[in-house]
Chains A and B, each alone.
Chain A
Amino acid sequence: MKRIVLAALAAVAAMSGSAFTAAADPVDDKLVIDDKEMIIRAPAPEGHPFEEVMSGWLFREAETRATEADSFANPGMLAVEQGEEIWNTVEGSAGKSCASCHNDAAESMKSAGASFPKWDPDSKKPINVELQIDKCRVKNMGAEPYKFDAPEQVALTTYIKHQSLGQPVKLDLASGEMQSWFDKGKDNYYNRTGQLNFSCSSCHEASMGKYIRADHLSQGQANGFPTYRFNTGGMVSLHNRFRGCIRDTRAEMPKAFSDELMALEVYVTWRGTGLSVETPAVRQ
């Protein structure tokens, strides 16, 4: 099932040379990956500030969009390959790999990526894919949890979410105390931070579809994470992106997987309900 990833270095999104950015709306286009059509526009769930939820793909330059649409050109597929290797590697004192218990990820992880964060009755908190990996490593493998953004953590997360490619995002907010974490996440989303005094909604709601400098502002959806970014030439995890956006308000960055960012992940993921999982999406 291994792929050879070609053109990993190709297609750095070309920026237009002109000073003025066009008042561009999201494109009217279809996204087909591996012969599967992705849901990139969906009717918003009840209580959502928008009528329609839209994938960040719709807001990117043509070259970036084309790179995501072609799995052989998508450099993020390297992380999927690395993740597959880790999946099958025995580690820890129990002498097991992920595959020892979960067998073929294409079957066992088929819908997992579309339904995280979930309620975790053991920690009495929401759990995301990264923390579920750590939970299995510690509890079931006798291995150490990963450090935040360790390449192995990002690759394995990318691999697991990629198994749900095309599946619509759907959270179970009725489970455990998910609803109160959702509420907290919503508060965080609208809370202004930093010297620049922005909330997430300043950029991804009030200014959605506009340009801030050269950046075409999307709805800030989570469905493509971890994403490949041309800017940094590597994979970006969701909490890394959250921290970057918060840093840009000139605020202190909350810790990855802190209660604050877990609540935000629950709420932001819900805001993309109905969009296909696109992992690994490609961004500039």
Chain B
Amino acid sequence: GWAAEAAEVAPDQVKFEDNMVAASLTDAPGNPEEGVKVFVNRGLGNCLACHVVKSLSKEQFHGNVAPALDGAASRWKMEELRAIVADSKKVFGEQTVMPGFYSLEIGDNVRKDLVGKPILTAQQVEDVVAYLATLKE
């Protein structure tokens, strides 16, 4: 549809306050069905590299670097989940192993074709957050 034309908050304009990002990064609502695709895709979220999700047990090889995400939406508000996915370091601190998926405060020597690009698009972040919101205890 017209979603591709939706206005977006640029990665360096995202406002973090009290471990939250209050406003949506796009003006199109997040779609949980698209979100789960981004979540499992190894080239996009690749979230299962580090997190277990029981309801996704048909997907192979869930890592255990990080806590299981079952029930994440019972532990965190939507606005907190958005902050965690956009830039986990703003919530968990600099030391966290979790990448910032919509951040340009990243490592040195970034692969040339990726310079200036966040891992996910604004819409993909909203979709992943909408999916996380379904993970209730």
Residues of A within 8 A of B (CB): 19-21, 23, 191-199, 202-203, 206-207, 210-214, 217, 249-252
Contacts and interface: CB of A to CB of B under 8 A. Distances in A.
Interface residues of B, number: 29
B110 interface: yes
A212 B52 contact: no
Given A195-B114, A195-B117, A196-B99, A20 B65 contact: no
B61 A213 contact: yes
B63 A198 contact: no
Contacts of B112: 252
Nearest to B48: A213
8 contacts: A20-B62, A194-B110, A196-B107, A198-B107, A202-B97, A210-B64, A212-B49, A252-B111
Contacts of B52: 20
A213 B48 CA distance: 7
B50 interface: yes
Contacts of A251: 107-111
Given A19-B58, A206-B97, A250-B114, A194 B107 contact: yes
A23 to B, nearest CB: 6
A21 B58 contact: no
B82 to A, nearest CB: 19
Contact of A192 (B46, B107, B119): B107
Contacts of B95: 206
A195 B87 CA distance: 12
